Amino acid sequence: MAYRSSEKTRQKKDAKRTAMMQAAMKVFAEKGYHAATVRDVVKQADVAIGTFYFYFPDKETLFTYLYEETADFILQSLQQATSGSADFETKLKATMQSYLNIAAYEPAVIQLLLVGGVGAVPSLHEKRIQFRERLAGAWQRLLREGHEQGVLATPQDLRRSAEYIAGGIDEIVLTLLRLPNPNTDVATAELIQTTLRLVGYQAAE
Protein backbone atom coordinates (compact mmCIF):
# COMPACT_ATOMS: atom_id res chain seq x y z
CA MET A 1 0.00 0.00 0.00
CA ALA A 2 1.34 3.42 -0.95
CA TYR A 3 2.10 5.77 1.92
CA ARG A 4 -0.30 8.67 2.31
CA SER A 5 0.39 11.54 4.62
CA SER A 6 -2.34 12.53 7.07
CA GLU A 7 -4.35 15.70 6.68
CA LYS A 8 -2.67 17.06 9.81
CA THR A 9 0.78 16.42 8.32
CA ARG A 10 -0.19 18.10 5.05
CA GLN A 11 -1.51 21.13 6.90
CA LYS A 12 1.73 21.37 8.88
CA LYS A 13 3.75 21.23 5.66
CA ASP A 14 1.53 23.83 4.03
CA ALA A 15 1.94 26.11 7.06
CA LYS A 16 5.73 25.93 6.83
CA ARG A 17 5.68 26.59 3.12
CA THR A 18 3.35 29.56 3.58
CA ALA A 19 5.54 30.93 6.38
CA MET A 20 8.59 30.76 4.13
CA MET A 21 6.81 32.48 1.26
CA GLN A 22 5.57 35.28 3.53
CA ALA A 23 9.05 35.66 4.97
CA ALA A 24 10.61 35.69 1.51
CA MET A 25 8.19 38.38 0.36
CA LYS A 26 9.34 40.62 3.21
CA VAL A 27 13.03 39.84 2.76
CA PHE A 28 13.01 40.43 -1.00
CA ALA A 29 11.10 43.69 -0.57
CA GLU A 30 13.53 44.98 2.06
CA LYS A 31 16.84 43.76 0.66
CA GLY A 32 16.23 43.23 -3.03
CA TYR A 33 16.81 40.00 -4.92
CA HIS A 34 20.63 40.07 -5.06
CA ALA A 35 21.24 40.98 -1.42
CA ALA A 36 18.64 38.56 0.00
CA THR A 37 19.89 35.10 0.94
CA VAL A 38 18.29 31.78 1.76
CA ARG A 39 19.52 32.20 5.34
CA ASP A 40 17.69 35.54 5.54
CA VAL A 41 14.47 33.82 4.51
CA VAL A 42 14.74 30.89 6.94
CA LYS A 43 15.66 33.25 9.77
CA GLN A 44 12.63 35.42 9.04
CA ALA A 45 10.38 32.35 8.76
CA ASP A 46 11.94 30.71 11.84
CA VAL A 47 12.53 27.38 10.09
CA ALA A 48 15.60 25.22 9.54
CA ILE A 49 17.58 25.71 6.36
CA GLY A 50 16.90 22.08 5.47
CA THR A 51 13.19 22.87 5.50
CA PHE A 52 13.74 25.51 2.84
CA TYR A 53 15.49 23.07 0.52
CA PHE A 54 12.74 20.53 1.07
CA TYR A 55 10.35 22.90 -0.70
CA PHE A 56 12.59 24.95 -2.99
CA PRO A 57 15.86 24.00 -4.74
CA ASP A 58 17.21 27.57 -4.70
CA LYS A 59 16.44 31.26 -4.23
CA GLU A 60 15.60 31.83 -7.89
CA THR A 61 12.92 29.13 -7.89
CA LEU A 62 11.34 30.62 -4.77
CA PHE A 63 11.39 34.13 -6.22
CA THR A 64 9.87 32.98 -9.50
CA TYR A 65 7.11 31.12 -7.68
CA LEU A 66 6.39 34.17 -5.53
CA TYR A 67 6.17 36.32 -8.64
CA GLU A 68 3.65 33.97 -10.26
CA GLU A 69 1.53 33.81 -7.12
CA THR A 70 1.63 37.58 -6.72
CA ALA A 71 0.71 38.23 -10.35
CA ASP A 72 -2.27 35.88 -10.08
CA PHE A 73 -3.37 37.55 -6.85
CA ILE A 74 -3.27 41.02 -8.45
CA LEU A 75 -5.21 39.95 -11.53
CA GLN A 76 -7.83 38.09 -9.49
CA SER A 77 -8.27 41.16 -7.27
CA LEU A 78 -8.85 43.36 -10.30
CA GLN A 79 -11.32 40.88 -11.75
CA GLN A 80 -13.28 40.71 -8.50
CA ALA A 81 -13.41 44.51 -8.36
CA THR A 82 -15.28 44.64 -11.66
CA SER A 83 -17.76 41.86 -10.93
CA GLY A 84 -20.23 43.82 -8.80
CA SER A 85 -21.51 46.43 -11.26
CA ALA A 86 -22.36 46.85 -14.93
CA ASP A 87 -21.62 50.59 -14.91
CA PHE A 88 -18.30 51.47 -16.57
CA GLU A 89 -17.35 54.36 -14.28
CA THR A 90 -18.12 52.32 -11.17
CA LYS A 91 -16.04 49.41 -12.44
CA LEU A 92 -13.14 51.69 -13.33
CA LYS A 93 -13.13 53.29 -9.89
CA ALA A 94 -13.38 49.93 -8.12
CA THR A 95 -10.54 48.44 -10.16
CA MET A 96 -8.17 51.34 -9.54
CA GLN A 97 -9.10 51.45 -5.88
CA SER A 98 -8.33 47.74 -5.59
CA TYR A 99 -4.89 48.11 -7.16
CA LEU A 100 -3.86 51.11 -5.07
CA ASN A 101 -5.23 49.51 -1.88
CA ILE A 102 -2.87 46.60 -2.44
CA ALA A 103 -0.02 49.07 -2.89
CA ALA A 104 -0.97 50.80 0.37
CA TYR A 105 -1.62 47.77 2.56
CA GLU A 106 0.57 45.14 0.91
CA PRO A 107 3.53 47.13 -0.46
CA ALA A 108 5.77 44.04 -0.54
CA VAL A 109 3.40 42.49 -3.07
CA ILE A 110 3.66 45.42 -5.47
CA GLN A 111 7.37 45.79 -4.76
CA LEU A 112 7.91 42.23 -5.93
CA LEU A 113 6.02 42.81 -9.17
CA LEU A 114 7.33 46.20 -10.15
CA VAL A 115 10.81 46.38 -8.67
CA GLY A 116 12.20 43.21 -7.18
CA GLY A 117 14.31 41.05 -9.45
CA VAL A 118 13.99 43.27 -12.52
CA GLY A 119 16.76 42.06 -14.81
CA ALA A 120 18.22 39.90 -12.05
CA VAL A 121 16.31 36.68 -12.72
CA PRO A 122 16.60 35.65 -16.39
CA SER A 123 13.95 32.95 -16.05
CA LEU A 124 11.46 35.64 -15.01
CA HIS A 125 11.64 37.61 -18.25
CA GLU A 126 8.87 35.74 -20.06
CA LYS A 127 6.69 35.66 -16.97
CA ARG A 128 6.95 39.44 -16.66
CA ILE A 129 5.89 39.82 -20.27
CA GLN A 130 2.95 37.49 -19.67
CA PHE A 131 1.85 39.42 -16.59
CA ARG A 132 2.02 42.78 -18.38
CA GLU A 133 0.05 41.28 -21.26
CA ARG A 134 -2.64 39.96 -18.94
CA LEU A 135 -2.77 43.26 -17.03
CA ALA A 136 -3.20 45.32 -20.19
CA GLY A 137 -5.77 42.79 -21.39
CA ALA A 138 -7.81 43.25 -18.21
CA TRP A 139 -7.95 47.02 -18.76
CA GLN A 140 -8.71 46.54 -22.44
CA ARG A 141 -11.73 44.36 -21.61
CA LEU A 142 -13.03 47.03 -19.26
CA LEU A 143 -12.55 49.73 -21.90
CA ARG A 144 -14.33 47.57 -24.46
CA GLU A 145 -17.33 47.39 -22.13
CA GLY A 146 -17.34 51.17 -21.87
CA HIS A 147 -17.12 51.45 -25.63
CA GLU A 148 -20.05 49.08 -26.04
CA GLN A 149 -22.04 51.12 -23.51
CA GLY A 150 -21.36 54.22 -25.63
CA VAL A 151 -19.69 56.21 -22.85
CA LEU A 152 -16.18 56.43 -24.36
CA ALA A 153 -14.92 58.70 -27.12
CA THR A 154 -14.61 57.09 -30.53
CA PRO A 155 -12.60 56.23 -32.51
CA GLN A 156 -10.02 54.99 -30.01
CA ASP A 157 -7.28 52.38 -29.90
CA LEU A 158 -8.48 50.47 -26.86
CA ARG A 159 -5.31 48.43 -26.58
CA ARG A 160 -3.09 51.51 -26.55
CA SER A 161 -5.33 53.22 -24.02
CA ALA A 162 -5.17 50.11 -21.81
CA GLU A 163 -1.39 50.18 -21.94
CA TYR A 164 -1.36 53.87 -20.96
CA ILE A 165 -3.57 53.11 -17.97
CA ALA A 166 -1.53 50.12 -16.80
CA GLY A 167 1.75 52.03 -17.12
CA GLY A 168 0.41 55.19 -15.52
CA ILE A 169 -0.86 53.32 -12.48
CA ASP A 170 2.50 51.64 -12.00
CA GLU A 171 4.33 54.98 -12.07
CA ILE A 172 2.01 56.40 -9.42
CA VAL A 173 2.34 53.26 -7.29
CA LEU A 174 6.15 53.42 -7.44
CA THR A 175 5.98 57.02 -6.29
CA LEU A 176 3.67 56.09 -3.41
CA LEU A 177 6.01 53.30 -2.33
CA ARG A 178 8.78 55.84 -1.83
CA LEU A 179 6.67 57.98 0.51
CA PRO A 180 6.62 57.31 4.28
CA ASN A 181 2.87 58.01 4.59
CA PRO A 182 1.28 57.90 1.14
CA ASN A 183 -2.22 59.34 0.68
CA THR A 184 -3.76 56.69 -1.55
CA ASP A 185 -7.21 58.30 -1.44
CA VAL A 186 -5.97 61.46 -3.12
CA ALA A 187 -3.83 59.51 -5.59
CA THR A 188 -6.74 57.25 -6.50
CA ALA A 189 -9.16 60.16 -7.05
CA GLU A 190 -6.66 61.99 -9.26
CA LEU A 191 -5.85 58.86 -11.23
CA ILE A 192 -9.51 58.09 -11.84
CA GLN A 193 -10.24 61.58 -13.15
CA THR A 194 -7.13 61.56 -15.36
CA THR A 195 -8.08 58.18 -16.80
CA LEU A 196 -11.67 59.19 -17.48
CA ARG A 197 -10.38 62.20 -19.42
CA LEU A 198 -7.86 60.04 -21.26
CA VAL A 199 -10.49 57.68 -22.60
CA GLY A 200 -12.97 60.46 -23.35
CA TYR A 201 -15.56 59.32 -20.84
CA GLN A 202 -19.01 60.81 -21.21
CA ALA A 203 -21.65 59.75 -18.73
CA ALA A 204 -24.67 58.11 -20.33
CA GLU A 205 -27.73 60.35 -20.37
In whole angstroms, what is the distance from residue 116 CA to residue 114 CA? 6
pLDDT higher than threshold 60 for residue 10: no
Q: Please give the residue that has the higher pLDDT: either 160 or 2.
A: 160
Q: pLDDT tens, 48-77? A: 999 999 999 999 999 988 888 888 988 999
pTM score, two decimals? Answer: 0.82
Q: List domains and CATH numbers for the chain.
A: 1-56 (1.10.10.60), 59-198 (1.10.357.10)
pLDDT (0 to 100) of residue 56: 93
- End-to-end C-alpha distance for the chain, whole angstroms: 69
pLDDT higher than threshold 60 for residue 120: yes
pLDDT higher than threshold 90 for residue 184: no
The dihedral of CA 168, 173, 178, 184: what is its sign?
Answer: positive
